[in-house]
């Protein structure tokens, strides 16, 4: 996701990670972000579990939601996927956005 964030900077695109491990402190997450050069926002998902319910739950880790600018879930991908899968989805959504403007 670091690569996608870099590639699409300047576009209406954001990456937000959700940490689901109750045992990890904010300081632990900050340390992880720094050591792995994470360039996107991470939120503590277990601080309000109802947030996860709004997305239909998390059937496995990782689960990735692709959400459009209006807040609609456009894709839900369960498990690990290659970067090009995410890249193609993001490209398609950005192309749709551009077409809507024209």
Residue 56 falls in which region: left (phi positive, over 0), alpha (psi -120 to 50) or beta: left
15 phi and psi, to 5 degrees?
-115, 130
CB 4 within 8 A of CB 83: yes
Percentage of residues in the chain with pLDDT exceeding 70? Answer: 95
Q: Is the CATH code 3.40.50.720 the one for domain 2-101?
A: no
Whether residue 73 has pLDDT greater than 80: yes
Report domain extents, the chain: 2-101
Cβ atoms within 10 Å, residue 93? 19
What's the rounded Cα separation, in Å, for the pair 62 and 18?
Answer: 10
User: Which residue matches tokens 């996107």?
Assistant: 40
pLDDT band at residue 47, thresholds of 50, 70 and 90? Answer: low
Structure token pair of residue 29: 């997450």
Q: Provide the percentage of residues in the chain whose pLDDT is more than 90.
A: 21
Phi, psi of 64 (to 5 degrees): -115, 130
């Amino acid at each position: 996701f670091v690569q996608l964030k870099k590639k699409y900077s300047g576009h209406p695109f954001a990456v937000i990670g959700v940490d689901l491990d109750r045992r990890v402190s904010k300081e632990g997450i900050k340390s992880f972000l720094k050591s792995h050069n994470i360039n996107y926002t991470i939120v503590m998902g277990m601080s309000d579990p109802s947030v996860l319910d709004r997305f239909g739950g998390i059937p496995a880790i990782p689960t990735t939601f692709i959400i459009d600018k209006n807040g609609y879930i456009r894709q839900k991908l369960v498990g690990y996927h290659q970067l090009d899968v995410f890249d193609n989805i993001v490209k398609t959504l950005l192309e749709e956005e551009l077409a809507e403007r024209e």
